[in-house]
Structure formats: structure tokens, C-alpha cells
Chain A
């Protein structure tokens, strides 16, 4: 019996229920939310240390043995993702205290936020394809409502594209799961890994893997399936944008990495080669889209797309070092990206706009905020000694190791363009002289709520950059577990049958 594995799913659920019961009392809801997020963070870190120490852990819901029941399993990769979800949930819960307006709060913002976290953690921890689908839907439902909460026109228009494309992806995912069951007779991932080795038609498995690539590709926003993301992520309030940017597409990336390391490794020459090409194109289109934009959050939205390319690149190269690079990149990216969105929210609060043309002069008035922007921005571009540098370095090294020079060249060029568009935000919003006179309208405590998560995430970025070794060791061991899935399979199927 292992309670720790289920808690990352149960804590957000309990928090959401508690907040739902306190529907009329906004103050109580706020406290519940912070309390629940703190508990989730604590449990997620405990889970990470426990998996690091004792290896992969699995628990069968309701004691139904493995290929039949619902399996919850945490290998190091899952545990890292859950820990990141915990950190993001915590940061955004505190940021929301000061940034969320009363109307959205009283229409269920806090319960929805925690149901979203539950869906995300559930997707990371499940060991079963169909349950992955269910958790995806839980997460999507919460994200749909969060996206339209408030009902502004832009939100509606963005949400229509977001909802349509995500439902499309869900339908494809569901169809793929059905065919997978028809082929292998099981949906437990560990069991599938065993059964797919001796399926009669290997060609059919490759075809099916493409269906999964498209379904998860839409969720992860890879090239040519990313159009819903830049159309919707800049429309909701910034706290919602931040948690979406940090976690949602990464669940898609997680699912891609999971199925293409555990299940579909029969025809690596074709599938992973294709993923590599997609990765390169994703990086390029994303960053070019960002360069063309002049609005703070739209630039950041396009950068999510381009960064997804880097994460997929490690999967496409498919060596232990490359996967470690991918995982390191995900760790770095989630922290940095969420932080940039949080900073954009503060800028919007001070100046009342996201348009770069109208912004300016922030460095003179708030040099501290400018530095807080500079840390994640430069890290995103991959400048040493920040976290992004080591993430990119690992991926580039992995690419050079197996002579994939084209993708390395793309990665480096995209890094330069990322730097260019971060510098653009810097000069336009912070450096350029301006007649605009930003006025702080908040009291001290509210400002503290806004700045605390930003400082926390910035410190994490710097810490990962300066003491990269332990984080890299973590990523390396997680990658090792992914490349050699025997331990995973044994952990799930052991003690059953």
C-alpha cells in the first residue's frame, strides 16, 4: 500500500470540493486554495524524493491486479512532472490572490484551478492508456471553463478554437485507444509494452503510432497543429495564461515521450526521425511567429510553440543523453515560461496594456522588475549561467554525438532568434523612454503576493543554472528509466498474476 502515489490526485480534489462547499465565502476559498496548493507541493516533493530513493513505484486501485485494474505508477519522469505541477500550482495560487478579480473568484475560479491540477497530476501518474484519456478530459473540461471565465469577447473567440481543436484531438486519441485495444487486447501501458513486441502486423503498429502522434501533437502544439495555442493563450487573465503555459502543453509532451519510449519503439528509424523533423519545424515556425508579434503575451505564446520543439527534439534523437536533455528542458521551460507570463501580468497591472508600442520606461521606474524579467528571458534564450543554457547545451551535445548537424544548427539559430525577441520586449517595454507614467495602485500586501511567486521562480531558474549537476543527474536517471523500460514494466506487473 502506498498512499503517497494517490495523494497528488486526491489533494487537489479535496481542495476543489472544499472550495466548492465554501462557494459563497470568497475569503475561505482563497485560503483553501493556498493551503491545498502548499500541501500538493509538499506531497509532490516527497514523492520525488521517495521515487529517487526507492525506485519506480506502482499501486493498483481497488487491489485489482495489474493488466485489469487501474494502475497508478510513478517513475522518476512522472515524479518530476508532478513536482513541477506542484511548484506551478503553488506559484499561481499565490499570484491569483492579488490578480484575480472578484467576479471570476465568485464564479468558481479556485475549484476549477484545483480540478485542473488534479487532471494534470492524474495524467502524469496513470499507467493506463484509457485513464490517460480520462485525465486529459478532466484537465480539458477545467481548462475550457477557466479559459472563458469572465466571458470577454476575445476569450470567447479564442476558446472556440481551443475547444474545437482539443475535442478533435480527443476524438482521435479515443479512436487510437480503441484500435490499440483491438490490436493488443490490453490498455495497461506496461502490459502493452510487452504485448506490442509480438503483434502480427508491425506496420499497423507504426500506423497507429502516427495516430497517437497527431492526437498528442495537437495537445502539445507541435508544427503544423499548433494554431489553437497562439489564438487562445493570450485571452484569459494572466494567472490562467501562466498555468496553461506552464502545464497544459507539457502534458501533451509528457504523453508523447511516454508512448514513444515505452510503446512505439519498433520502427525508430521512421517514427523518431519524423518526430525530429517535426521538432525542427516547430522550433522555426514558433520563433518566426514570435518575431512577428508586438504584444507581450502573444510573443510569449509563440515562444511556447518554439520551445516545445526543443523538448520533442530530445525524443526524436532518442539517445539517453538526448532524453535527459529533453527532461532537463521541460524542467527549465515550465519554470521560466510561467514566470514570464507572471511578469507580463505585473507589467499589465502597472501600465494597463500588453502592447509593446504603448509600453516603455519601466526600467527607470522599476529596475527591480526589469531584472526579474531579464532572468527568465535570458534563460529562455539560453544564456549562461542560467538554466536554459544547460538545457540547450545538453540537447546540442546529444545532437552532435550522433551527427545530427541539421537539427543542431536549427536549435542554435532558433536560440539566437529567441534572444532577439526577448531583447525586443526588453527594449520596448523596459528600456525605451516613454511618456507613460506607470502608477502603482496596489497596497503593499497585494504587491507582495504578485512578486513572491515571480521571485521564487526566478531564484529557481538561477539555482538550476548555478547548481545544474543535481538537476542534470535527476534528468539523466529519469531518461535512463525511459530508455530501459524493463524496471517500469516490472514495477507495474510485479506481484500480480
Chain B
């Protein structure tokens, strides 16, 4: 692939990943969320696979995308089960507030953890499809 794409990708990859995290975190009340964030992150790795090659992208990812699906499902599942500890129906949101210096109390809840699970599943599914199609 071209030198321009490769150089640009080196800069774009961390930016895209950061942006995907930003989307994930703002998703509760504004446009964004785990699904979109996951798509952006997957797109970042897909771009890397285009600029270099699939093996390099896999190496960068370190973990098999299939495992990401499993881990993501587990995270989402666990976030739903937290409600059982409070003796409430599955998936009921549980919230706690953490005071961060300079910002004040930040709400932290199971919906975010669920979104994180979605994020991982989306990255895993997309990369499983893209990378295995690209390898063919």
C-alpha cells in the first residue's frame, strides 16, 4: 500500500480509537454509545489492515476478535446481573456516584458497563468478518 496511507494510518489509528472511546462514554444521554463506538474502533483496525496487512492488524489487536465477542457478551451479561444483587429485575440500572477532583460527583452505572460490552462485541464481530474476508 501507499506510503501516504501508511503514514496517515499511524496518526489516525490512535485518534480513531480515542474518538471511539469518546463516543462510548457520551452515549448515555447524547448521540453515541457502544454500538457506534465499536464501529469506529473496528473501522480503525480495518484501516490498519488495509494500510499494512491483515497479519499486522491481528498482531496489533493482540487478542483474537472471536474472544472479544465472548468477553463483550460476558461484560454485558454481568452488567445485567448486578441488578440481582439489589434484588431487582434483570438489567435494572444500578448507579453510584464517584467524586472526581475538579469535576464533582460523576454518575457511574451499569448501563455504561453494558455499553462497554456492546462495544467489545461490535468490535469483535466486525473484525471477525472483515479480517476473515480479507484473508480469503
Contacts and interface: CB of A to CB of B under 8 A. Distances in A.
A62 B77 contact: no
Contacts of B77: 10, 13-14, 17
Nearest to A61: B91
Interface string A7-31: 0001001101110110100000000
Given A1-B84, A3-B84, A23-B64, A17 B73 contact: yes
A16 B121 CA distance: 14
Nearest to A9: B90
Nearest to A6: B90
Contacts of A21: 67, 70-71
B89 A63 contact: yes
Interface string A198-230: 000000000000000000000000000000000
A60 interface: yes
A59 interface: yes
Contact of A62 (B64, B66, B89): B89
A13 B73 contact: yes
Interface in A1-59: 1-3, 6, 10, 13-14, 16-18, 20-21, 23, 59
A16 B87 CA distance: 26
A23 B74 contact: no
A63 B92 contact: yes
A468 to B, nearest CB: 37
Contacts of B69: 20
B66 A20 contact: yes
B93 interface: yes
Contacts of A10: 77, 90
A3 B70 contact: no
Nearest to A14: B77
Interface string B71-102: 10110010000011001111111000000000
Contacts of A2: 89
Nearest to B81: A10
A24 to B, nearest CB: 9
A18 B71 CA distance: 9
A203 to B, nearest CB: 39
A1 B73 contact: no
A21 B9 CA distance: 31
Main secondary structure of the interface of A (DSSP, over half): helix
Given A3-B84, A13-B73, A17-B77, A23 B90 contact: no
Residue with the greatest number of chain B CB neighbours at <10 A, chosen from A1, A10, A16? A1
A61 B90 contact: yes
Given A13-B77, A17-B73, A63 B88 contact: yes
A3 to B, nearest CB: 6
A59 B91 CA distance: 11
Nearest to A20: B70
A274 B89 CA distance: 41
Contacts of A13: 73, 77
B70 A17 contact: yes
Contacts of A18: 70
Contacts of B92: 62-63
A438 to B, nearest CB: 40
Contacts of B73: 13, 16-17, 20
Contacts of A6: 90
A238 B45 CA distance: 39
B10 to A, nearest CB: 31
Given A3-B84, A23-B64, A23-B66, A17 B89 contact: no
Contacts of A62: 83, 89-93
Nearest to B74: A17
A63 B86 CA distance: 12
Contacts of B88: 1, 63
A1 B87 contact: yes
A80 B9 CA distance: 55
Contacts of A60: 89
A336 B101 CA distance: 66
Contacts of A61: 89-91
Contacts of B90: 3, 6, 10, 59, 61-62
A214 B76 CA distance: 35
Nearest to B91: A62
Contacts of B91: 61-62
B135 to A, nearest CB: 15
Nearest to B110: A62
Contacts of A16: 73
Contacts of A63: 83, 88-89, 92
| Ranked 5 nearest A-B pairs via Cβ | A20-B70, A62-B91, A63-B92, A21-B70, A6-B90
15 contacts: A1-B87, A10-B90, A13-B73, A13-B77, A17-B73, A17-B77, A18-B70, A20-B66, A20-B67, A21-B70, A61-B89, A61-B91, A62-B91, A63-B89, A63-B92
